[in-house]
Amino acid sequence: MSTVNLQSPEVQIRELRLGSITGYEGSAEDLVRCSHAGGLRDSARSFSQCMGCSSGNALCQLCMVRDAAVVNHAPIGCAGDFAGYNFVYRVGQMERNLPPVNGRFFNTNIEEKDTIFGAAQRLADTVREAYKRVHPNAIFVTTSCASGIIGDDVENVANELSEELGIPVIACFCEGFKSRIWTTGFDSAYHAIARKLVKPAQKRGNRVNIINFWGSRIFDPLLNRLGYEADYIVPFSTVEQLGHISEAAATIQICPTLGTYLGAALEQVHGVPEIKAPPAYGVAGTDNWMRELGEVLDRRDEVEKIIAEEHARVLPKLEEYRSRLAGRTAYLTAGAAHGHAIIALLRELGMQVSGAAIFHHDPLYDNGDERSDALAHAVRTYGDIKSYNVCNKQAYELVNILSRVKPDLMIARHGGMTIWGAKLGIPTLLIGDEQFGFGYQGVLNYAERILETLDNCEFVTNLARHSSTPYTKWWMEQDPYTFLGGSAHVGQY
Amino acid sequence: MSVSIEQPRFSCALGAQQSVVAIRRGAPITHAGPGCSYKIHGFLGQGEGYAGGSTIPCTNFSETEVVYGGEDRLRTVIEGALKVIDADLYVVLTGCTSDIVGDDVGMVVSDFAQRGVPIVYAETGGFKSNNYASHETVVNAIIDQYSDRYAPGREKDPGLVNVFASVPYQDPHWEGNLEEIKRVLEGIGLRVNILFGQHSEGVAEWQRIPQAALNIVANAWVGTGIAAHLEEKYGTPYIHFPYLPIGGVETSRFLRRVVEKLPLDPGRADAFIGREEARFYAHLERTADFLLEFRYGLPRRFHTLLDAGYTVGLAKFLVNELGILPGQLFITDGTPEARQEAVREQLRHVSDRRSAEVAFSADGGWIQEQIRSGGNKHRALILGTGWERDLAAELKADLLILGVPVTYRLILNRGYTGYNGGLRLIEDIYDHALNTYR
């Protein structure tokens, strides 16, 4: 059964829709096998540290639609991410030669009395105020734990204001308490876009959707050579542009953890084929991905030519990097599909992945296609990873594991994790741009940065010498999975 | 003026988790939704500190707890935190979810406290107040549930004071500001419980709070609720210096008010104040000809989008010590209505002969519209936040970022209070102004 239902105001959370989990300790191979054999059983932690929530991830995709405004229906603390995303937005403007503007983000400032009497009026007033100030082409309304529990009818308010203002006012349901997988917020944002902004296709053009964050435009040369044009969505799109993503020739996802829902919705509702191969990381992964792209875009011969050219260009350099990296160990912590991609990439470089702490696991994506399983691809192509931990950012587990594993390098793909590598004196790398490691050139890019990081160890060595730790000696001597219970209730995080 | 907020400049009640992070070896435990603590951390402060950011234990309130209540979950997370996190003080803070469903957090925490665990709690559901106000809530909770354990049988210490000034992390310069306030108070012969930051002794200071002879509030309104509470509880008198003391005039005024209240050696205090003033004015005098003669333009008016303590403190300093006059002043900290008149009154007497108008609003978008429409006839200095970057560029005004989000600055121990802070402020203002020339 399809997981895409655009008639419903809300998208189901990942736990229910995809059977995703946040707690696992074991080997990657076992996880892949179990994922494809039936439903996964989640493990809960009796002790936990703060994570992230859906509302932040929903905002991250909605707040950089250039001619839209966002209203966050929440107490003011939920708007703590406005400033950070505004900075991301502004840096992106610089990179794209756009004039500097602040994002237009509003918060309804829910107060105590509103939790008793409801805050629907506050929401309506804020949406009108946002319209008056900004005259946007759409307004997204993101919800919060507070608005959800007090039971405001946000959908109704949004629909009424759409009529009144004559622009789409779109409710995006992303209450933090509903899911322990914060990437559910991506699905919420895409659901909002898919059900209210995307129009039925009038024609099938030569544009290709790239579902990404705000990364570099690495797909332009490739797609242009194949006779296509890249549309980087959703950040830095316009409302009008999003209306026509249904007319694209294909959808590429930089990371299926990000784009699973939108990719599936565009294919199932509008017939835009989604590239289902895992993202192009590592040479084998890129070959695989390129060939599917060639199929979907009907450019098989040209793609084979590119593969041959790129192999000739990249493989000799890769050999050199491999010889320098052979036998070095790395530990990785990252989001799901991107984490799997980096695992593939590290092993392509001849490094040994001594373990990974990956934020959640989707046994299948919304396309329901096993070909998209990036972890399965990594295990099949490069072999098993014995110490594979599904762990939504629990730093205490990570610190404990790192102090045992003592890898030569730690790679992190989320804020708040790098410090633990560095405090232990382990050279640590965080790459912000997901596109940086993509494709053939990406392997070389990563290799260079890894070599630079391994070489630049004075800082972490000195920091480790002068660092304190908030973790008890007792904890550092325990099994890292002490608090990870077996077969706990899924709803319990 | 709208009810909503564009460009937020403070956090919610749970934002006071940062006050706990600022206590040496203090650890917050949040009974809140999964994203709350990390959002607050991302907005307030640059770096985790000892046990902040991703380290913060949290129940990550889920649908299960919304339906069945979260007390059991809280109990197991506290048990884990006590084992895993090495801290001297644990402070349990609730979020919206817990406060709406009505968990009895006091009951859960008191079970641990009765076993002698250094643990307290406060209800900080985000909708209850902003983090300026909840800073008081949390400090009072620590006093009642922790410091008070150390009160019986201890005498007042005539040379000891408690200071309540900056709200940690909400004031991005809290560490430097508190360091200087402590320095000048020690200079006149006091011992100081500064309570937060590297210059505090951590929980040892919190244990001595009841023994202080005087509580000193150096803030427009935040902290008076703590001082009043301590007066009622321990009979400790307090002085309220209603803004941040910045520069020669105001720091000396601040110190003399303290001296009046305590049996200090006036000779020692005078000598210290004299030395500090001499040093401060030697620098100012040395640069005055530059300020007067620089022919290509320096800022002549200032606008503020800051909290009340900074706004009043800066206004007095800029008018009296640098000759920069008030433009449009906006206070963005949600000053309670009952406290606004006192702030207005301070600005009516910004100098012996000058009065300044002020408006209160937390809606940065609205404030920017007001400033933008005022133009920039006299070259203006905008004292605000990272949100003001484009506004300053449009108006060709000089921007000095003093409030959150700081975005374009990295702050370690820079502070603007006291004699040293006044000098730093002069450097920073003219550094920015000169930097606009090619």
The structure tokens listed for A155 are 């959908």
Is the pLDDT score of B13 beyond 70?
yes
Cβ of B12 within 8 Å of Cβ of A468? The answer is no
Range(s) of the domain holding residue A99: 52-179
pLDDT at res. B373: 93
Q: What is the DSSP letter of B318?
A: I
Q: Which of A48, A145, A395 sits opposite B97 (nearest CB)?
A: A145
What's the alpha-carbon Rg for chain B, to the nearest Å? 22
Chain A, window 182-201: residues with a beta carbon less than 8 angstroms from a chain B beta carbon: 182
With CA atoms as reference, the chain B residue closest to A129 would be: B2
Arithmetic mean of pLDDT, B348-362: 97
With CA atoms as reference, the chain A residue closest to B408 would be: A87
Task: Answer yes or no: are the C-beta atoms of A474 and B83 closer than 8 Å.
Answer: yes
Q: Which of B38, B81, B393 sits opposite A51 (nearest CB)?
A: B38
**Within this chain, do residues A346 and A435 fall inside the same structural domain, yes or no?**
yes
Cβ of A109 within 8 Å of Cβ of B3? The answer is yes
Q: Is B11 on the interface with A (CB under 8 A)?
A: yes
**Within this chain, do residues A276 and A310 fall inside the same structural domain, yes or no?**
no
The structure tokens listed for A74 are 């929440």
Enumerate helices (H) and strands (E) in chain B, giving the number of each.
Answer: 17, 13
Is the pLDDT score of A75 beyond 90?
yes
Round the average pLDDT of chain B to a whole number and report it. Answer: 96
Name the pLDDT band for A153 (thresholds 50, 70, 90): very high
Task: Answer yes or no: are the C-beta atoms of B46 and B198 closer than 8 Å.
Answer: no
Q: Is A479 on the interface with B (CB under 8 A)?
A: no
Arithmetic mean of pLDDT, A138-166: 97
The structure tokens listed for B438 are 């090619």
Cβ of A133 within 8 Å of Cβ of B365? The answer is yes
Arithmetic mean of pLDDT, A262-266: 98
**Within this chain, do residues B73 and B106 fall inside the same structural domain, yes or no?**
yes
Chain A, window 65-94: residues with a beta carbon less than 8 angstroms from a chain B beta carbon: 71, 74-84, 86-87
CA distances in angstroms from B321 to A241, A446, B285, B354, listed in the order given:
55, 54, 11, 14
| Chain B residues in contact with A114 (beta carbon < 8 A) | 127
Round the average pLDDT of chain A to a whole number and report it. Answer: 94
pLDDT at res. A1: 62
DSSP collapsed to 3 states, A201-227: CCCCCCEEEEECCCCCCCHHHHHHHCC
- What per-residue string of b and e applies to A89-118 under the rule 16 or more CB within 10 Å gives b? bbebbeeeeeeeebbbbbbbbbbeebbeeb
**Within this chain, do residues A327 and A463 fall inside the same structural domain, yes or no?**
yes
Q: How far apart are CA B17 and CA B37, in angstroms?
A: 8
Q: How far is A159 from chain B (nearest CA, A)?
A: 20
Q: How far is B146 from chain A (nearest CA, A)?
A: 21
Q: Which of B385, B408, B424, B425 is nearest to B170 (CA)?
A: B385
With CA atoms as reference, the chain A residue closest to B13 would be: A77
Q: How far apart are CA A2 and CA A20, in angstroms?
A: 16
pLDDT at res. A491: 37
**Within this chain, do residues B38 and B112 fall inside the same structural domain, yes or no?**
yes
Cβ of B5 within 8 Å of Cβ of A107? The answer is yes
Arithmetic mean of pLDDT, A163-168: 98
Domain closes at, from B270, B303, B322: B270
**Within this chain, do residues A124 and A235 fall inside the same structural domain, yes or no?**
no
**Within this chain, do residues B385 and B303 fall inside the same structural domain, yes or no?**
yes
Cβ of B60 within 8 Å of Cβ of A493? The answer is yes
Is the pLDDT score of A50 beyond 70?
yes
Beta bridge partners of A220: none
Q: Is B132 on the interface with A (CB under 8 A)?
A: no
pLDDT at res. B2: 61
SS3 B4: coil
Task: Answer yes or no: are the C-beta atoms of B366 and B1 closer than 8 Å.
Answer: yes
Q: Which of B12, B27, B125 sits opposite A76 (nearest CB)?
A: B12
Let me know if residue A384 belongs to a domain: yes
Arithmetic mean of pLDDT, B419-425: 98
Q: Is B44 on the interface with A (CB under 8 A)?
A: yes
The structure tokens listed for B96 are 């919206």
Let me know if residue B150 belongs to a domain: no
Q: How far is A27 from chain B (nearest CA, A)?
A: 26
Q: Is B27 on the interface with A (CB under 8 A)?
A: yes
Which residue type occupies A179? S
Name the pLDDT band for A38 (thresholds 50, 70, 90): confident
**Within this chain, do residues B296 and B339 fall inside the same structural domain, yes or no?**
yes
Domain closes at, from B110, B145, B180: B145
Which residue type occupies A243? G
**Within this chain, do residues B297 and B430 fall inside the same structural domain, yes or no?**
yes
Let me know if residue B8 belongs to a domain: no
Chain A, window 8-47: residues with a beta carbon less than 8 angstroms from a chain B beta carbon: 46-47
Cβ of B34 within 8 Å of Cβ of A417? The answer is no
| pLDDT tens-digit readout, B73-123 | 999 999 999 999 999 999 999 999 999 999 999 999 999 999 999 999 999
Let me know if residue A24 belongs to a domain: no
The percentage of residues in chain A with a pLDDT greater than 90, rounded to a whole number, is 91
Domain closes at, from A163, A179, A195: A179
Beta bridge partners of B12: B130
Arithmetic mean of pLDDT, B225-245: 98
Interface with chain B: mutation pick from A14, A15, A50, highest number of B CBs within 10 Å: A50
**Within this chain, do residues B283 and B422 fall inside the same structural domain, yes or no?**
yes
Q: How far is A126 from chain B (nearest CA, A)?
A: 6
Backbone angles phi, psi at A243, to 5 degrees: -60, -25
| pLDDT tens-digit readout, B263-283 | 999 899 999 999 999 999 999
**Within this chain, do residues A339 and A448 fall inside the same structural domain, yes or no?**
yes
Residue A8 exposure: Cα atoms within 13 Å on the Cβ side:
9
Cβ of A146 within 8 Å of Cβ of B100? The answer is yes
Q: What is the DSSP letter of B403?
A: S
Cβ of B39 within 8 Å of Cβ of A78? The answer is yes
Cβ of B126 within 8 Å of Cβ of A146? The answer is yes
Residue B429 burial by CB count (10 A; 0-12/13-18/19+): exposed, middle or buried? buried
pLDDT at res. A489: 36
Cβ of B58 within 8 Å of Cβ of A76? The answer is no
Q: Is B97 on the interface with A (CB under 8 A)?
A: yes
Q: What is the DSSP letter of B307?
A: -
Name the pLDDT band for B419 (thresholds 50, 70, 90): very high
Let me know if residue B238 belongs to a domain: yes
CA distances in angstroms from B81 to A227, B84, B85, B219, B277, listed in the order given:
57, 5, 5, 34, 48
**Within this chain, do residues A217 and A170 fall inside the same structural domain, yes or no?**
no
**Within this chain, do residues B283 and B200 fall inside the same structural domain, yes or no?**
no
Cβ of B38 within 8 Å of Cβ of A52? The answer is yes
**Within this chain, do residues B107 and B162 fall inside the same structural domain, yes or no?**
no
Let me know if residue B85 belongs to a domain: yes
**Within this chain, do residues B410 and B287 fall inside the same structural domain, yes or no?**
yes
CA distances in angstroms from A311 to A287, A347, A444, A448, listed in the order given:
9, 17, 12, 18
Q: How far is A79 from chain B (nearest CA, A)?
A: 7
Cβ of B11 within 8 Å of Cβ of A125? The answer is no
Domain closes at, from B121, B145, B169: B145
Task: Answer yes or no: are the C-beta atoms of A50 and A420 closer than 8 Å.
Answer: no
SS3 A23: strand
Which residue type occupies B406? V
Q: What is the DSSP letter of A362?
A: -
**Within this chain, do residues B137 and B164 fall inside the same structural domain, yes or no?**
no
Name the pLDDT band for B288 (thresholds 50, 70, 90): very high
| pLDDT tens-digit readout, A363-410 | 999 999 999 999 999 999 999 999 999 988 899 999 999 999 999 999
Positive or negative: CA dihedral A420, A423, A429, A431: positive
Q: How far apart are CA A344 and CA A333, in angstroms?
A: 14
With CA atoms as reference, the chain B residue closest to A123 would be: B4
With CA atoms as reference, the chain B residue closest to A175 would be: B33
The structure tokens listed for A305 are 């030519």
**Within this chain, do residues B315 and B430 fall inside the same structural domain, yes or no?**
yes
pLDDT at res. A488: 35
SS3 B92: strand
Range(s) of the domain holding residue B132: 13-145
Q: Is A132 on the interface with B (CB under 8 A)?
A: no
Interface with chain A: mutation pick from B1, B7, B367, highest number of A CBs within 10 Å: B7
pLDDT at res. A41: 83
How many domains does one find in chain B?
3
Chain A, window 447-476: residues with a beta carbon less than 8 angstroms from a chain B beta carbon: 468-475
Q: How far is B320 from chain A (nearest CA, A)?
A: 34
Q: Is B336 on the interface with A (CB under 8 A)?
A: no
Q: Is B164 on the interface with A (CB under 8 A)?
A: no
The structure tokens listed for A469 are 């730790």
Q: Is A418 on the interface with B (CB under 8 A)?
A: no
**Within this chain, do residues B137 and B198 fall inside the same structural domain, yes or no?**
no
**Within this chain, do residues A396 and A308 fall inside the same structural domain, yes or no?**
yes
Let me know if residue B141 belongs to a domain: yes
**Within this chain, do residues A264 and A303 fall inside the same structural domain, yes or no?**
no
Cβ of B37 within 8 Å of Cβ of A469? The answer is no
Beta bridge partners of A172: A142
Is the pLDDT score of A135 beyond 60?
yes
pTM of this structure:
0.96
| pLDDT tens-digit readout, A77-109 | 999 999 999 999 999 999 999 999 999 999 999
Let me know if residue B29 belongs to a domain: yes
How many domains does one find in chain A?
3
pLDDT at res. B45: 84
Let me know if residue A356 belongs to a domain: yes
Interface with chain B: mutation pick from A16, A76, A106, A143, highest number of B CBs within 10 Å: A76
Cβ of B36 within 8 Å of Cβ of A395? The answer is no
With CA atoms as reference, the chain B residue closest to A70 would be: B6
Name the pLDDT band for B46 (thresholds 50, 70, 90): confident
**Within this chain, do residues A385 and A460 fall inside the same structural domain, yes or no?**
yes
Domain closes at, from A285, A308, A326: A285
**Within this chain, do residues A315 and A281 fall inside the same structural domain, yes or no?**
no
Cβ of A52 within 8 Å of Cβ of B6? The answer is no
Let me know if residue A424 belongs to a domain: yes
pLDDT at res. A492: 36
| Chain B residues in contact with A101 (beta carbon < 8 A) | 390
**Within this chain, do residues A259 and A142 fall inside the same structural domain, yes or no?**
no
Q: How far apart are CA B193 and CA A281, in angstroms?
A: 55
Arithmetic mean of pLDDT, A342-363: 93
Q: Would you tell me the crossing angle of helices B224-234 and B131-145 to the nearest 10 degrees?
A: 20
Task: Answer yes or no: are the C-beta atoms of B319 and B326 closer than 8 Å.
Answer: yes
Q: Which of B60, B81, B83 sits opposite A51 (nearest CB)?
A: B60
Q: Would you tell me the crossing angle of helices B71-84 and B105-114 to the nearest 10 degrees?
A: 40
Q: How far is B332 from chain A (nearest CA, A)?
A: 13
Domain closes at, from A285, A307, A335: A285
CA distances in angstroms from A83 to A77, A436, B14, listed in the order given:
12, 25, 18
Cβ of A77 within 8 Å of Cβ of B97? The answer is no
Chain B, window 403-432: residues with a beta carbon less than 8 angstroms from a chain A beta carbon: 404-405, 407
Arithmetic mean of pLDDT, B296-305: 93
Instruction: Look up the CATH number of the domain holding residue B175.
Output: 3.40.50.1980
Q: Is A208 on the interface with B (CB under 8 A)?
A: no
Instruction: Look up the CATH number of the domain holding residue A71.
Output: 3.40.50.1980
Arithmetic mean of pLDDT, A478-490: 71
Let me know if residue B3 belongs to a domain: no
The structure tokens listed for A355 are 């373990």
Let me know if residue B4 belongs to a domain: no
